[in-house]
Structures are given as structure tokens and as C-alpha cells.
A and B are shown apart, each in its own frame.
Chain A
Amino acid sequence: MPYHWNWSIFLSPVPSGETTYLGWLGTGLQWTITLSLCAWVIALALGSLLGVLRTVPNRWLSGGAATYVEIFRNIPLLVQLFSWYFVLPELLPPAMGNAFKQMNPLTQQFIAATICLGLFTSARVTEQVRSGINSLPPGQKNAALALGLTLPQAYRHVMLPMAFRIVLPPLTSEFLNIFKNSAVATTIGLIELSRQAQQLVDYTAQPYEAFIAVTLLYLVINVTVMFFMRRLEQKVRIPGYFGGSK
């Protein structure tokens, strides 16, 4: 039986009548973007902090950060997500766990997914920041210290401004990854893009239209992020370096 293409399906109203199927896709896109951006804030903040700790001359601090990275890099994202969503509320003190479970399901899913994606990505950001700091010539740090800067000052004014500009390209790809990884939140029922694709299939029996539309939206996100990050990369490029990017 040939497949009946029906692109006008997006304009027809959903069963509850509040919006159209296109509206569902819009909601999905919003959640995907909100989730990814919130998680990215966590990932960048925590990843930068831990990346610095990885390089400081203190065995306990750098060892602790290394352990963190190993744990979050060696457990699949899906297992981590389920742990935040199903396991943690049980292990918290009953009052806190119950408070979490009584929230609106969407809020629960969003909190769990944001923390999960944020921490998962922060381990990757940590490694990028560390490799950026380690790629600096040791003379820079020594010169800063010899000039009388304290170690925190040397990081703040000399090493980090250089390191971040060097690792911008790999950070861009982590930023792109976070949008792609946000699709995993579909497994706990968060209504982001992939979830909406599956819902559309269930409700409309027009799988190809739904999947093509959602795939295109992911491509649009990708291209948009890439466009802005390339401009940022050009703006902050360090003169004399190979631009750090290809």
C-alpha cells in the first residue's frame, strides 16, 4: 500500500482542540531549547570550576575533580537520567523526596533532565577546559607568578582568558551535543521535540511527516548555533594562534 503524504496534518487541531499539531512541535522546540540552555549554564559553570581544579597544584582538589569526571563519563546518559528521576527522590530524606514527587510531572521531568544533562556535560567541559589550560606555555603562569600575582589572580587574569579562547571550538561542539543529548529526556516523558515526534506518530498515523519536520528542526538548531559560534570564534580569536578552529 503506498504511503499517503499529508503535510496539511500539521494545521489540523489536536484532539483536545487547544492548538494544532504545529503548535505541539512549537512546544517541543521550546522545551528542547529551554532544557539545553539551562543545562548548558550548569555545565559551563561547573565544568570551568572543575577544569581549573584539575590543574591546580593540590593533589586532593585535582584528584576529586578527576574522580568526578570519571564517574560522569563512564555511566551512560540514560542511566544517569533514570537515576536522577527515579532513584534520587527515593534516597532523599522522605520530606524532600515527597515534595519532589508531588510537583507537577512536567516540573519533575524538567528538573531531573536539566540536572542530569548539566552534570553529564560538565564532565566533558571540565576535560576541555583542563586541556586548554594545559596547552598554555608554562612560562605564562610562571611569568604571572613572578610578577607578583597570586595563583588565583594568575588564573583569573592570565591563564583563563587565554584558555577559554583556545577551547572555544571544542566547547562549541559540546554545546551542539547538549541539544542532541536533550532528546534523551523523551525517555522520562518530557515533551521536548523527539517526544512530540512520537506523539504525532501516535495521534496522526503520519510518521514520515512528523519525523521529517522534527529532524529539520534539529538541523535548524544545529545550523543556528554553528552560525553564532563561528562569529564568536572569529571575534575572540587570539592573534598569532591558528584560530584554534578549522
Chain B
Amino acid sequence: MYEFDWSSIPGALPLLARGLGITFELTLTAIAVGIAWGTTLAMARLSNHKWLGGAAATYVNLFRSVPLVMVILWFYLIVPQLLKMIFGEGIADIRFTSALIAFALFEAAYYSEIIRAGIQSVPRGQVSAALALGLSYRQTMRLVVLPQAFRNMMPLLLTQAIILFQDTSLVYVIGLSDFFGTAYKIGDRDGRLVEMLLFAGLIYFVICFSASQLVRHLQNRYAR
């Protein structure tokens, strides 16, 4: 029978915490940029402008049909060369930068679909009323439609954030030491991969489960 030996975990905690920091940094940046860029994409898709709508639709469909692993690899191919072209040599952490850009642009495609549905959930009469009151299209969007849309789609946005948090572990494919990458490397180094993987799984579970319970709680409170 396998003999568990958890002794390498306490010593590894500072490194794991640093990895968790990177995981959160990736998640939060991707959420912020993803929602901002996703809102822009959603509004472009809903606009009457044919080219703009078509371009946004192509962007969203392209990103949604390609596996995240491929997107991360793509950006790890392109971003370092772009950075070299712009800043010359000597960029410190290319992996982190390219992962950050990959996640932000990838998540924007998913967020834009959620946001588009959210905007469409606001009754048309509201837009007509706002326009009739003399607000411009821009003001209507900013002051009337978007605040209600975001309120409606809050649970979905948060659920997507939890999925994103889990997906950041895929930066493993470019060797970035996020929480999972760190756990794997330490486990491999100490020959305690079994314990480390179980521990990592437990931590992910605790974080994601609490977050999803919180989302459910918020949902019940707002969906009165």
C-alpha cells in the first residue's frame, strides 16, 4: 500500500503562496481586461455597424473554437517576438506577460457572449424611453442599459471567473510557476508528487467551492 508522507508540504508553503499569488494576479487581470474588452466586443456585435459587428463576431467565434492550450501556446510564440521588436532584448518575465495577454484576450471572447446576453435581457422599451428622454445612444448605454445588464448577469460573470481561475493552471504548458506549476515542480523535486497533487487539488477545491457557494448566495439574494 502507498505510504503517504506529507512532510514536504509545510516547507513548501512560502513557494506555494507565491505561486498562488501569480494565479490570482493572472485571474484578476484577465477578469478586469476581459470584462472591459468583452463589453466593447458585445456592444460592437449589437451595433448596427455591419463591419464592426462582423469583426467582433469573427473574433469571438475564433477564440471560442480554439482550445485554451493552443491560445496560450500561440501567444507564447507571438508575444516574445513582439516585445523584442518594441523594447529590444531584456524583458524579464516573458512567460507571465504572454500568459496575461493570452488569458485577457481569450476570456474577453467568453465574457462578451455573457455580456451580450445581459444587454439583450434589458427590455427594448428602456432604450426607447431613454432615447425619447433625449439621452444620446452612448448615454443610454452607459446610464440605463449597462447598469441593469451587469446586475442581471452578475452570477454568470462570477461563475465564469471561477472557471477562469481553474483554467489558469494551464499555464503549465509554457512552464510558468503558478500555484499548480509550483506544486508540481516541488512534488517532482521531492519525489512526493502524489501528496503535492492531492494538496493542490484540495486547495483549488476549497477556493472554488467557497466562491461558488458565495455566488449562489448572491444569486438568491438578488433574484428576489
Question: For chain A residues 36-72, which have a beta carbon within 8 Å of chain B?
Answer: 70-71
Query: Are A82 and B74 interface neighbours, CB within 8 A?
Result: no
Residues of A close to B2: CB separation below 8 A: 90-91
| A 170-229 contacts with B by CB, 8 A | 176, 179-184, 186-187, 194, 197-198, 201, 207-208, 211, 214-215, 218-219, 222-223
Whether A222 and B194, one on each chain, are in contact in the complex, defined by CB atoms closer than 8 angstroms, is no
Task: Name the contact of A76 in the complex, choosing from B65, B73, B77, B166 (C-beta under 8 A).
Answer: B166
Residues of B within 8 A of A143 (CB): none
A145 contact set on B, CB distance < 8 A: none
Closest-by-CB residue of A relative to B170 is: A78
In the bound complex, residues from chain B placing their C-beta under 8 Å from that of A183 are: 67-70
In angstroms, Cα B209 to Cα A14, docked, is: 47
Question: B62, B73, B204: which has the most chain A beta carbons within 10 Å?
Answer: B73
Q: Say yes or no for B173: interface residue by CB 8 A criterion.
A: yes
Contact between chains at A87 and B198 (CB < 8 Å): yes
Instruction: Count how many chain A residues have C-beta atoms less than 8 Å from C-beta atoms of the other chain.
Output: 40
Residues of B in contact (CB 8 Å), total: 32
The CA-CA distance from A8 to B50 in the complex, in Å, is: 37
Do A75 and B205 contact each other (CB < 8 Å), given the known contacts A82-B197, A91-B194?
Answer: yes
Within 8 A of A (CB), among B57-74: 62, 65-70, 73-74
Nearest CB in chain B: distance from A85 CB, A: 10
Contact with A along B159-181 (1 / 0, CB 8 A): 00010001101101100000010
Whether A79 and B197, one on each chain, are in contact in the complex, defined by CB atoms closer than 8 angstroms, is: yes
Inter-subunit contact B77/A208 (CB<8 Å): yes
Pair A74/B212 contact, Cβ less than 8 Å: yes
Interface of chain A residues 141 through 187 with chain B (CB within 8 A): 176, 179-184, 186-187
A178 and B209 alpha carbons, distance in the complex (Å): 23
Q: Is A77 an interface residue (CB 8 A)?
A: yes
B74 touches A215 (CB 8 A): yes
The answer on a CB contact under 8 Å between B66 and A86 is no
Q: Taking CB as reference atom, which chain B residue is nearest A173?
A: B64
CB-defined contacts of B66 to chain A, threshold 8 Å = 180, 215, 218-219
Q: How far is the CB of B101 from chain A (nearest CB, A)?
A: 16
4 nearest interchain CB pairs?
A: A183-B67, A76-B166, A74-B208, A222-B65
Contact residues of A with B, CB < 8 Å? 70-71, 73-80, 82-83, 86-87, 90-91, 93-94, 176, 179-184, 186-187, 194, 197-198, 201, 207-208, 211, 214-215, 218-219, 222-223
Sample of 18 further A-B pairs with CB below 8 A, known A79-B204, A83-B201, A211-B74 = A74-B166, A77-B169, A79-B180, A79-B197, A79-B201, A86-B197, A93-B1, A176-B65, A180-B65, A183-B70, A187-B172, A187-B173, A197-B73, A208-B77, A211-B70, A214-B70, A215-B74, A218-B66
